[in-house]
Amino acid sequence: AKDYELRQYETAKWVSTVIRGETQKEAMRQGFWKLFHYIQGKNEREMKIDMTVPVTCLIKSGCTDFKISFFVPFEHQDSPPQPTDSDVFIEERKAAAIFVRSFGGFASPDKYAEEAEVLARMLRNRGQPFHEDFFYTAGYDSPFKLFNRHNEVWYFKK
């Protein structure tokens, strides 16, 4: 469809942290720094790891827990260094078909929610079954990039 795409993602490891009881914006800030410290060497091997994109945030309806994640680079997928911060963990996300809607600009929590609602409405209208109780936000750009920014919202296909 012109307004969204269906992607097939393979099983992959992500480094994640869950921030509880904060606003989405504050959770993203805190989560980003916890994960950034991990890739800067706060791990069992004291290894620096390249920053990857996207940075994702799991949004569950009616929940104030936010799971922020960085994709583990391909060269570390087989055995990523274990985090030394007890709030940071490695997770394996199973292969999945994901509906993706892309948009530009600086993405606020309100903008992500608005784009997710637009995508959900399109999927319902087209009879596409998807998990409606959660979605992911995906950001691809540094905060210092001003133009041609790329953001996404993801719903998992049922």
Predicted confidence (pLDDT) per residue in 67-87, tens digit = 999 999 999 999 999 999 999
What DSSP string runs through the chain? --S-EEEEEPPEEEEEEEEESS-HHHHHHHHHHHHHHHHTT-BTT-------S-EEEEEETT--EEEEEEEPPGGGSSSPPPBSSTTEEEEEEPPEEEEEEEE-SPPPHHHHHHHHHHHHHHHHHTT--B-TTEEEEEE-S-TT--SS--EEEEEEB-
**pLDDT band for position 1 (50/70/90)?**
confident
Confidence of residue 144 (pLDDT cuts 50, 70, 90): confident
Domains assigned to the chain: 5-156 (3.20.80.10)
Give the predicted TM-score (pTM) of the model: 0.96
Whether the predicted pLDDT of 132 surpasses 90: yes
